[in-house]
């Protein structure tokens, strides 16, 4: 019986295979259809690989066809690379006898790595074409890429070992290091790296380090792009001066901008593309100053270790879309004016192990899509297991503390010196039985509101998803602040009585 069953299935297989007709492919007739007639590979830095772009090719006829050739017009010398339905062809440039079934489609994936010298000198465009077939049946899809020149900062490599810099200590006291190098006053390609230029952007691989005794000065209009797992670290005795100024247009032409090195629009708001700006303990010998700086898409925007010297001055600074924190500060002194932080995976602002903080006319908003993120966290310790805590003084004046959760502010206290002050702030809090519970600190709601604070009132932001936190005419922050000695808002508009809460003056939103 078992043999009969086996014979049955063998016979069935033979019968099925004998009914199958081999596909007959006809030569293509030049009537392919494409998802796009031009593929624009967004701006890339010179000699840095692009993202992968997709072209879909359709055979809308009722016949199976064979395309004699699919090739890049510039041949093997082109800076583009393609794969056709997973095939690599001849060096990712030429493909022969590509089959495409009737009413079917295939994918072509496109990448490029081109230098500024490859581009057209008049417009810096690098172009090519994907050619399908030839002669009378020739069809083409255009490829266009804008190449941008840059100053590159990356660690040296010798005998297969990449240069590294210190970033801290392990629990056993050994030094922690990461890929990076100290900046140079006489770099062969970049010149004096302690005074950034504005004629070209900077692209940083690994961590650019400012060592003891040096000051990095970044002028208005500078653009700095960080690769994945890269950033800027200021060592003990080093100093950072960011000297941006107010801009007249949305291009932020005078702002200093720190962001990732992926220039495609799809990456414009992706968090965590690069590391952080790290101000280590004992840095700031020449007094850190940060003015008119925009930080986008980092893991932590500003990571600040204990600093008990002169306050770190942060003014007119915007931090957006960080995967962890906007500002994370440990037992430091910060004088923050007109800071805007929006959408972070944990906290927009977190201060731990105490410190001395003054934030005036700042806007902290967190709409991260989870239930754990908060706008502001203030504590005199860090971990719940900590037995060590430090004195805290934290003052918030004319600030917006808001977000998508029911509570956007936490104060955590273990020590005896814990002083916090909120004056004319708009704060989103959990209110229960007439009191505001901030972890183990009980604030009377009436007393808080007697200080001019507004609890659970809407700020009426223009567009949170696009990091536009200007307040509108219907905002409760409009005209409810005090004169805090700050004559202009973050956009350079004069502050006049009645004063508004937050970094921006209110505006009338457009109707469309």
Length of the chain as a residue count: 512
Q: ω into residue 498 within 30 of 0, thus cis?
A: yes
Q: Quick one: tokens of 409?
A: 């502010």
8 Å CB contact between 412 and 379: yes
How is the beta sheet containing 431-432 ordered, strand by strand? Answer: 431-432, 435-438, 441-444
Q: What is the mean pLDDT of the chain?
A: 90
In terms of DSSP bridges, do strands 161-162 and 157-158 run parallel, antiparallel, or are they unpaired? Answer: antiparallel
Delimit the domains of the chain by residue range.
26-148, 150-323, 349-512
90 vs 76: CA distance, rounded Å: 8
269 vs 94: CA distance, rounded Å: 36
33 vs 26: CA distance, rounded Å: 17
Q: What is the pLDDT of residues 376-416, one digit of tens each?
A: 999 999 988 888 899 999 999 999 999 999 889 988 889 88
Listing DSSP states for 198-251 in one string gives SSS-EEE-SEEEE-TT-EEEEETT-EEEE-TT-EEEE-TT-EEEEE----SSTT
Say yes or no: domain 26-148 is CATH 2.60.120.10: no
Ramachandran region of residue 212, left (φ > 0), alpha (ψ -120 to 50) or beta?
beta
In this prediction the pTM is: 0.87
Q: Which carries the bigger pLDDT value, residue 23 or residue 269? A: 269
Q: Quick one: tokens of 375?
A: 């706008």
Q: What is the pLDDT of residues 217-259, one digit of tens each?
A: 999 999 999 999 999 999 999 999 999 999 988 888 999 999 9
Q: What is the pLDDT of residues 56-98, one digit of tens each?
A: 999 999 999 999 999 999 998 999 999 999 999 999 999 999 9
* Window from 7-11, 147-151, 475-479 with minimum mean pLDDT: 7-11
Burial code (b: 16+ CB inside 10 Å, e: under 16) for 494-510 equals ebeeebbbbbbbbeebe
Q: Quick one: tokens of 419?
A: 């002083």
Q: How confident is the model at residue 7 (pLDDT cuts 50, 70, 90)?
A: very low
Q: What is the pLDDT of residues 287-308, one digit of tens each?
A: 999 999 999 999 999 999 998 7
């Amino acid at each position: 019986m078992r043999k009969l069953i086996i014979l049955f299935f063998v016979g069935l297989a033979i019968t099925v295979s004998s009914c199958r007709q081999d596909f007959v492919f006809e030569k293509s007739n030049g009537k392919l259809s494409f998802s796009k007639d031009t593929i624009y590979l967004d701006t890339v830095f010179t000699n840095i690989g692009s993202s992968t772009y997709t072209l879909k090719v359709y055979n809308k006829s009722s016949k199976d066809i064979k395309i004699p050739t699919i090739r890049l017009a510039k041949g093997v010398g082109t800076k583009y690379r393609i794969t056709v339905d997973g095939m690599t062809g001849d060096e990712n440039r030429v493909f022969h006898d590509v089959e495409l079934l009737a009413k079917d489609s295939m994918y072509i994936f496109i990448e490029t790595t081109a230098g500024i010298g490859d581009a057209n000198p008049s417009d810096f465009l690098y172009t090519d074409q994907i050619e399908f077939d030839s002669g009378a049946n020739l069809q083409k899809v255009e490829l266009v890429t804008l190449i941008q020149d840059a100053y590159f900062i990356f660690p040296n490599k010798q005998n297969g070992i990449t240069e590294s810099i210190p970033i801290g200590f392990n629990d056993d006291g050994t030094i922690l290091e990461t890929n990076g190098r100290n900046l140079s006053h006489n770099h062969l390609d970049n010149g004096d790296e302690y005074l950034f230029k504005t004629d070209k952007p900077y692209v940083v691989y690994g961590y650019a380090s400012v060592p003891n005794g040096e000051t990095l000065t970044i002028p208005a209009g500078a653009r700095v792009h960080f690769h994945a797992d890269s950033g800027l670290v200021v060592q003990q005795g080093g100093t950072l001066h960011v000297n941006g100024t107010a801009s007249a247009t949305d291009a932020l032409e005078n702002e200093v901008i720190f962001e990732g090195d992926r220039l495609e629009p799809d990456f414009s708001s992706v968090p965590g593309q690069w590391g952080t700006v790290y101000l280590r303990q004992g840095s700031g010998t020449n007094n850190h100053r940060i003015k008119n700086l925009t930080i986008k898409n980092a893991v932590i925007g500003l990571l600040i270790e204990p600093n008990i010297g002169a306050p770190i001055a942060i003014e007119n600074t915007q931090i957006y879309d960080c995967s962890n924190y906007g500002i994370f500060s440990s037992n430091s002194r910060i004088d923050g004016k007109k800071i805007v932080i929006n959408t972070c995976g944990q906290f927009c602002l977190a201060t731990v192990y105490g410190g001395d903080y003054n934030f005036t006319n700042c806007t902290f908003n967190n709409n991260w899509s989870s239930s754990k993120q908060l706008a502001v966290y203030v504590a005199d310790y860090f971990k719940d297991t900590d037995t060590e805590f430090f004195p805290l003084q934290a003052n918030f004046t004319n600030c917006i503390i808001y977000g998508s959760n029911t509570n956007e502010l936490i104060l955590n206290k273990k020590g005896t010196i814990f002083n916090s002050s909120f004056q004319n702030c708009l704060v989103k809090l959990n209110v229960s039985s007439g009191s505001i519970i901030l972890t183990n600190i009980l604030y009377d709601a009436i007393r808080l509101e007697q200080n001019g604070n507004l609890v659970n009132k809407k700020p009426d932001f223009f567009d949170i998803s696009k990091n536009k936190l200007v307040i509108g005419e219907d905002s409760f922050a409009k005209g409810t602040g005090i004169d805090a000695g700050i004559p202009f808002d973050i956009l350079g508009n004069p502050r006049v009585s009645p004063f508004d809460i937050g970094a921006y003056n209110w505006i009338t939103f457009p109707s469309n």
